[in-house]
Structure 1
């Protein structure tokens, strides 16, 4: 009787397997919404580009730690995440060996939860391993980040005096500080402004000049909101005048309002200013005005940041 033939079936990775393997290494990779079985939209999708970059950076940090530990980051494993939390709290999760603050660890956990969801996995944050590790981290992690102080009108006036009114960069920076302070705008809201509605795909709002001042219309997932900014009594401290002067001399009629200044301050570019530039501007001007009490322009030890423009 002839021997029965045998066949060997080789498992072929599915599309989801390939996507998840890729996304474990690439912080920006997520299942495509065009696929019928793609992961659904995740509640709490961060609207801020700054938050999205932070979440991507946190996943990259976690994936790098997993590689050092020879542990796969997918699927979601509460025991692995608990080990990661303890590593961050002890300093073992960082190359320089410094422990993360409790607030940083909590943000990293939120980032992992969101990133896992984007990749089709659910991280059980209430698992005992995670809650116990987080409780230990709160007790033993490094000190919290320094509290950011709110700018007063006097502080702002001192900072404005450090800017060059005779240069395009100085005019732009004056408009940023005055508009952000008057409208209590975040840095991404400031840099996301266009000269008019529907003028760019990455815009977050636009400005409209009127007899009473300027209306800032902001768009987001929650819909539109408007911020009315009136003329100030003095031109040198008027956000409306500062914005109008910058746009007129910078020849900005359409597209992004706040842009890079190129060629030694002589040319206004076409690209939108990065929101990190607002943070650097606030820090730099506060240092120049003698308002900071420690740290440098790029150090987190200072007491002012872009958040100082809109804190209550």
Structure 2
């Protein structure tokens, strides 16, 4: 094993191909979300630093080195990690995906089926795997309590109210919420747009499975209607073009032009849930870990008493099985097989 982690430089392209290469890089970036690219870049940086510290060559990809790396992650011995910090199985699997993607972008495919990786990963799963930690579903009564914690007299309160209601009623991911534009083709970083109609909002989204349309109907009360909340925010924020959800600046008295980061959705859900006392039977620390952006999607899936196929379509899932993973409490003990068996 060599001791030089530097990557071999690519030969320069002819001048007439430079513009085409730039366009190709744009398409590569468009193939994955900004969050995914940031995570992959961070994972690659950690791996290259680990290789440098251990004296391993970065190129070409060596399954044995990668196997040692994931072993270090699982055992808490990887440089750059806190002493004894062991990465979860899901984190290690994501790191593997990151390495595969980064190596592929450099024209050096990594063989994840090699025994040095596959066998080690199988052992890590057997020894360290735990049931997935799902975020708590925000149910309708929870959401109403959370809305009451927001100040309707401020721009920030109006914005946050619209975000919570649109996210819940649309079953949207946090990136989809902040990725909305007022109209079609208005920004380069938008992920969709809205159209306000008499009966509700038609949302057109570019999601993981392609483009899809979502219908968000008007509510039975103005105080909990996502359409009214969105119309009120757009009116008082004076937004007619570009990103729907933006930063509120100037001590809460002005609206900026920049799109909100999707992390703001997770922070909003957590902050409002804590303020409303949702799951008050738990400590504040435990409650803080339960709520995030996905709590809104899980809340819709768990509480909408309609045919499952409509929920599946709203969430944009390819299978009913994936939709059922979001239904936290809906079907628990609905069918009692113990009594059905005669006990």
TM-score bracket for the superposition, by shorter chain length: 0.7 to 0.9
What CA distance in whole angstroms lies between the structure 2 residues aligned with 1:176 and 1:17?
47
Of residues 95, 111, 114, the one that matches 2:81 is 95
Matched, 1:69 2:60: no
Query: Secondary structure, in 3 states, of the residue corresponding to 1:302?
Result: helix
Task: State the partner residue of 2:9.
Answer: 18
CA distance in 2, matches of 1:184, 1:212: 18
Out of 199, 202, 205, the residue aligned to residue 218 of structure 1 is 205
Match of 1:82 in 2: 67
- Show the counterpart of 2:176: 189
Match of 1:55 among 30, 40, 44: 40
Going by fraction, where is helix more abundant, 1 or 2? 2
- Give the secondary structure class of the aligned counterpart of 1:121: coil
Q: CA deviation at 1:67?
A: 2.0
SS of 1:18's partner is: coil
Aligned residues: 282
Report the Cα offset of residue 181 of structure 1: 0.3
Q: TM-score, normalised by structure 1?
A: 0.83
Is contact 1:79-1:130 (8 Å) kept? yes
The answer to whether 1:201 aligns with 2:192 is no
Q: SS at the partner of 2:290?
A: coil
How far apart are residue 145 of structure 1 and its match?
A: 5.8
> How much has 1:220 moved relative to structure 2?
4.8
Greater CA deviation, 287-296 or 166-175? 287-296
Q: How far, CA to CA, are the matches of 2:87 and 2:181 in structure 1?
A: 37
**Which residue does 1:113 correspond to in 2?**
100
Asked if 1 retains the 8 angstrom alpha-carbon contact of 2:247 and 2:256, the reply is yes
CA distance in 2, matches of 1:19, 1:151: 50
Q: Which runs of 5+ in 2 are unaligned?
A: 1-6, 12-17, 299-325, 327-343
1:73, CA displacement in angstroms? 2.3
SS in 1 for 2:201: strand
Residue 23 of structure 1: aligned partner: none
Deviations 1:197-217 (A, max 9, x none): 010000111111111111111
Q: Which residue of 2 aligns with 1:7?
A: none
Is the 1:99–1:141 Cα contact (8 Å) retained in structure 2? no
Q: Please report how far the alpha carbon of residue 69 of structure 1 lies from its aligned counterpart in structure 2 after TM superposition.
A: 1.3
**Distance in 2 (alpha carbons) for counterparts of 1:300 and 1:96:** 25
The answer on whether the counterparts of 2:270 and 2:288 sit within 8 Å (CA) in structure 1 is: no
**C-alpha RMSD of the superposition:** 2.7
Unaligned stretches of 5+ in structure 1?
Answer: 1-15, 21-31
CA positional deviation for 1:295: 5.6
**8 Å CA contact retained: 2:178, 2:261:** yes
How many Å separate the matches in 2 of 1:107 and 1:77?
18
CA distance in structure 1 between the partners assigned to 2:221 and 2:89 by the alignment? 45
Q: Distance in 2 between matches of 1:280 and 1:63?
A: 31
TM-score (norm 2): 0.76
